[in-house]
Structure 1
Amino acid sequence: MADLTDDELLAELGVEVEQQKARTYTPREERIMAGFEDIIRFMEKHGHPPQHGEDRDIFERLYAVRLDQLRAQKDCREVLHGMDRHGLLAEAQNEATIPAEEIDDDLLLAELGIEPVAEDDIRVLRHVPTAEERRAAEEVANREKCEDFAHFKPFFDQVQQEIEIGARETRPFELKAEIRPGAFFIVGGQTAFVAEMGEVFTNPQGRSDARLRVIFDNGTQSNMLMRSLQRSLNKDDAGRRITEPEAGPLFSGQAEDGDEASGIIYVLRSKSDHPVVAENRNLVHKIGVTNMKVEKRIAGARLQPTFLMADVEIIAQYKLFNINRTKLEKLIHRVFGAAQLDLVIPDRFGTMIKPREWFLVPLNAIDEAVERIRDGSITDYRYDPSQARIVQV
């Protein structure tokens, strides 16, 4: 015998199958059920009913108000009786809920800052940003033109120069305590300067906060909260704090107690017979930094392209203490960059090499640069070949 379905088997036995009529629901009841399904899914995902509160996600807040409405209306509870497997409708209403008769869907959405769509259904939203997106948009929107930016621009220029020469560093942002007047940060690809800080207060969440005046390097400013800046820095993968410049001169001529020798700035003059060098013998100088005796550093100079494949003579030496030699050497070369000697020579294997530590500068300009390094003013100066002297930029 061929396999029979249940209905066919019952028919063979003479049993009449009573067809159960499916219940139909009104559009309103369908919306109520669909809305309650959203609440159930939230409950099963998060382990608690949706709750009210400014710090809650927008959808959780919507679900919380919707649940209050469903609890408050008898016909809604009747429609949902068979679906309420978590007993959500039986729970007592929270005192902070909004009575259903006092607020409709449109008013609810307006209260939450959301524009409702044409359908009369608070489940259907458009242009609903996340809490983070709303905060970010508010922070950008709150920026305005900084009318006195000319006062702050030199600060940004100086900080950039100090980063380039190694006097300042950029490090990952870590603590809220780092946010204080005079501090610099990199956030959203812009350098930000905390110009002012108001009185510290306690926000509704019980945390300390303060109103800031933050100036940005694009000429805008914002009166943002300290925690808003903290949040932006934490959220930005490229967010950084800019360290304070190291106190004191880069080096001094004499060691003090506890100082450790770091190296020597040396100035050399070449004995090369190259036409350019021979013609400008008193101006062509090599400026470098070493951690060994200069005499040892220049041994075998005639075999090294960095010394122009010729012997050299020592013109000046400056002892360094507690200094980063690499950063200092970059600083010196940046100061004299406009006067770098444009010269290519062959090494002993015939390979053409362009030495990079030779400059067409008089010795007195080098002496002045060293003095300005000592007093910390060198970041504002560069060598000008047209004037053959150190000038302020």
Structure 2
Amino acid sequence: MTNSEDFGPVDFSYPAVDIQLLIDSDLDGLLDAPEKPKKVTSSDRLERAFLEIVDFRRTHGRVPSSLTREIAERKLGARLDGILASEEKIAALKQLDEFGLLDAPEAPASIDDLLEGDDFDLLGDDSGLLDVSDLPVRRQVHEGTDAARRHKAEDFEQFEHLFKQKHAELRAGTSKLLPYPGMTRILPGAFFVLNGVMLFIAEVGETEYKKSTVRENKRERLRCIFENGTESSMYRQSLAIRLSDENGQILEQTEMPEILTDDEVSGYIYVLRSRSDDPQIASIEHLHKIGFSRGPVETRVKNAEKSPTYLMAPVDVVANYRAYNLKASALENLLHRVFAEVRLDITQIDRKGRGYDPSEWFVAPLNVIDQAIDLIISGDIVGYVYDPQAQKLIRHG
């Protein structure tokens, strides 16, 4: 190691420095003292938290859900729920709310709308927490309100024979009344008894979507025909509540009666052809929709161009088969199974921009569909399969 004594005394003195001159020459600000960090307030944190929710809405086109399994989205959804529960937070964030996330929901216009505002899916409880079957029943009277909602069924003659048939089945023991089993059984073609009056589910309308600040609810209007000649267009959930509260019953067949030539028609299997000018649809040969209707088929399809179920285009009824004393919906389902391999695979966009996959369109010649129906009625269909290449039903096994 070199010793400083070998070189004599070391001079540590430096020439005087003009500090101001040094500062003035610091064009890049290297000598600037760092700014003291601004203290983050609770208001700042609230705004940042809300802007994350706004950014999610801007990116995904919807509000975050607090019920999803996606952890990041669920946190944002829970955060939004907390904000909406505080008037102070809503007032503090209003200037940042570019999508109306903090707007108060519209007041329901009717009791049906109120019942449909089930943001937390309380009516769909599967846990049993809402089961009050062990509690004393308090009978509710709805006749006044319900009567006001009903009106005369102008085409009741199309349905009157169905009620007569059901009463005959009850007398013969081929049908029986069972306790209302739940909303999943409220389907087209079902019969129920409400306050001693039999009703028939003639139609279930297109799914409506009603947005709230929490979630997007789905609901469907029903066409309920009553045996006293009136009809109602209540929502599915509304009927479910009525049947549950008022000890409603469902009619179930105990056995499948034989088909007799002099029996009355119980439904229609129909085959439609699309008049769509969409090239990807118009170019498909032998494209047919196979469906089921309790009432007149022409009434069912009169607004086909507005529904993705009918490919957003008018349709022609090319075949209409009567079904006697049998569950025509089961016949329809069996036809769908026979032609499942040639089901149309396409996505339609409805008037609100939502995607929809029509499920009842098949690529099969009309004469083959005729043959399949004959084989189903005779019971011989179990020995046949549809060959898409040959476009015919062939025996298997």
Shared fold (TM-score, shorter chain, > 0.5): no
Structure ID, larger Rg: 1
When normalised by structure 2's length, the TM-score is 0.34
